[in-house]
Structure 1
Amino acid sequence: MDSGNIWNIVMNKILTIFTPTYNRASLLKRVFTSLQKQTYKNFEWIIVDDGSTDNTEEVVKSFIEYTQDFSINYFKQKNGGKHRAINFGVKKAKGDFFLILDSDDYLKEEAIEVLNPLLDQSRLNANLAGVAVRRAYSDGNIVGNIFDKSILANSVSIRYQHKIIGDLVEIFKTEILKKYKFPEIENEKFCPEALVWNRIAQYYNLQFYNLGLYITEYLPGGLTQKIIKIRMQSPIASMLHYVELVSYKIPIKEKVKATINFWRFSFNDSSSSILDNLKKLPNLFYGAFLPLGLLMYFNDKRSQ
């Protein structure tokens, strides 16, 4: 193969695998090993270090020196949260598609080979934002409930109409993620991914496949384990997520749940008053759920 063809392959990777990490140097080798073992290697790996104080940089340098099978690009930012890391990673991505692979998870050996034709199909459909597959535990069992065939839906309807539960693995077209950036709120280090995924859902569908290609482990110290405290520390982004959810086409009981959570986290935000927050909701009816939100706020405070 001549050098020109090799260069074209390098410059036209179909997939960016993105790993945000914070003090997880000990886990990154497993991620790296799973990428090394991929049966199809048309990808780049971008790692954004969110201000780690361990030896993450040295560990990643050893990966870069060890392999020539795929490119590895490492960046370090001031600690600002996963959402800021995603925004930066999307900006640097060269792939047509963007897959977020957390530092405590890994991919099955055949994952990218299986994904490749699915991404190709998605590429040809301008109405699709990408594809989504399933997370699985290390024993192979799917996280959440399963479905028999692929589903054409969006990130809102897959939850509230098709009733699919469990964390999903969305692989978005990079060009779409560049249009839908995460809001970066001063002094907050968390923004729900669902906030952006739901915004994309207002204009684009995803093709969902019941394929457990992504192995997940909910380890101590991760976002999932301490999500309530994290939301309390980033109330504005949390409230934004819930108030937008209320405006979407979801069942009324889900709107009520979202409203209660909106009020629940609003009491952690000292920058706005109850009246200010009431004005953010679609109508005065939703103010009736303030007392329930206040009770949950007090319960959260006791639990921390």
Structure 2
Amino acid sequence: MDTARKQAVCNPLQSKALLSVCIPTFNRRDRVAALVQQLLRADCPLQICVHVDGSTDGTNEALAKIASRDSSLVVTTGPNDGRGRAMFSAIASATGDYCMVFDDDDDLFADRLPEVCEHLSQRGVDEKIAGFVFSMALGHPETAAEPFPLERTNLIKMRADERVVGDKKEVIRTPLLKRVAVPPAGRFRRVPTSLLWSRLAIEYDVICVNIEIGRKRYLPEGMTARIRLLQRQNAYPMLLLNLIYIKAFWLGRYRSVRFLGKAVLACLSFGILSFPFLLKRSFVRVTS
């Protein structure tokens, strides 16, 4: 059993947590500690799950000190395997009714969390609803996010047909998120979070809520600054993502032929880049 799952079992937090906030982090001790403290002060039944991805700057020690005072914080650790593995490990620790993945470099509007929890506590939600999507403000403090065009949609249609751009904050029922939070075969440092959302979108819808719950930051040392390189270096997860986009089109989950065309071209590109990995995996299967 890996560290994340072991600690989640050994430290069963209150099942009363409505929302588990899952934070993968690497060498951002001060930012993640401040974010955790902010979450702990929020007037909302939260669990906070942080996975420390092999940090060397004292992050684990700083968070362990906070966790010793508040059992709402679950801290797991592991080697530096990249954001993808860290994200999956944080999700594995979640015990709340809903789960939200939050990056350690983003700003949180903690005063909006009670309103978020009010939406999550609604009863009688359609079983085909996976959860909610909230807005994230972009960059400049005076830049507001565009409102969602539809209240009910799915997480592929929202991008493909409705042309929603920018980062949003998905809050998904924890059992459903754990079902799709399965790492691809192989060891990849980057696995796009959209792979999880696309898996959900095949079957489930979401409710869009025009409440900004944070601000997206793109730090110079962050992954976004080298996203194209990371996509090429971790081509197989990108291939899986675009294959799901193609499947979703044929299942009628969106209508945009333009989006489909881009997915087909991406499959060709990432398929070529994934060929050495797929060949090696096939060889291992044959010889084992």
Pairwise same-fold verdict (TM > 0.5) = yes
**Aligned 1:129-278 pairs, distance under 5 A:** 129-137=130-138, 139=141, 141-143=143-145, 145-147=146-148, 151-249=151-249, 250-269=255-274, 270-272=276-278
Separation (CA, whole Å) in 2 of partners of 1:146 and 1:163 = 11
Alignment root-mean-square deviation, CA: 2.3
Separation (CA, whole Å) in 1 of partners of 2:120 and 2:218 = 27
Separation (CA, whole Å) in 1 of partners of 2:74 and 2:200 = 27
Aligned pairs, number: 261
Q: CA deviation at 1:123?
A: 6.5
3-state SS in 2 of match to 1:232: helix
Greater shift in the superposed pair: 25-34 or 237-246: 25-34
3-state SS in 2 of match to 1:210: strand
Q: 1:182 to 1:141 in 2, by over 3 A?
A: farther
Separation (CA, whole Å) in 2 of partners of 1:37 and 1:246 = 43
3-state SS in 1 of match to 2:121: helix
Correspondence 1:100 to 2:98 = no
Separation (CA, whole Å) in 2 of partners of 1:160 and 1:271 = 29
Amino acid at match of 1:116: C
Q: CA deviation at 1:183?
A: 2.7
Residue matched to 1:31: 35
Match of 2:59 among 56, 61, 78: 56
**Do the aligned partners of 1:47 and 1:73 also contact (CA within 8 Å) in 2?**
yes
Deviations 1:127-173 (A, max 9, x none): 21111101114615334x3247x611110111122221111100000
Correspondence 1:13 to 2:17 = yes
Amino acid at match of 2:153: A
Match of 1:42 among 39, 45, 49: 45
Following TM superposition, the consecutive aligned residue runs of length 4 or more in structure 1 with deviations greater than 4 angstroms are: none
Q: CA deviation at 1:104?
A: 0.6
Identity, in percent, stands at 22
**Do the aligned partners of 2:107 and 2:216 also contact (CA within 8 Å) in 1?**
yes
Separation (CA, whole Å) in 2 of partners of 1:122 and 1:21 = 33
Amino acid at match of 1:63: I
Amino acid at match of 1:188: F
3-state SS in 1 of match to 2:236: helix
Q: CA deviation at 1:31?
A: 0.9
- With normalisation by structure 1, the TM-score equals 0.78
Deviations 1:200-236 (A, max 9, x none): 1121111011111122211112222211111111111
Separation (CA, whole Å) in 2 of partners of 1:237 and 1:166 = 21
Which has the greater radius of gyration? 1
Q: CA deviation at 1:188?
A: 1.6
3-state SS in 1 of match to 2:136: strand
Higher relative contact order (CA 8 A, sep 6+): 2
Amino acid at match of 2:98: F
Q: 1:34 to 1:262 in 2, by over 3 A?
A: same
**Do the aligned partners of 2:152 and 2:207 also contact (CA within 8 Å) in 1?**
yes
Separation (CA, whole Å) in 2 of partners of 1:52 and 1:267 = 33
Separation (CA, whole Å) in 1 of partners of 2:36 and 2:195 = 29
Q: CA deviation at 1:254?
A: 1.4
Q: CA deviation at 1:12?
A: 1.1
Amino acid at match of 1:60: L
Separation (CA, whole Å) in 2 of partners of 1:226 and 1:123 = 43
3-state SS in 2 of match to 1:133: strand
Q: CA deviation at 1:111?
A: 2.2
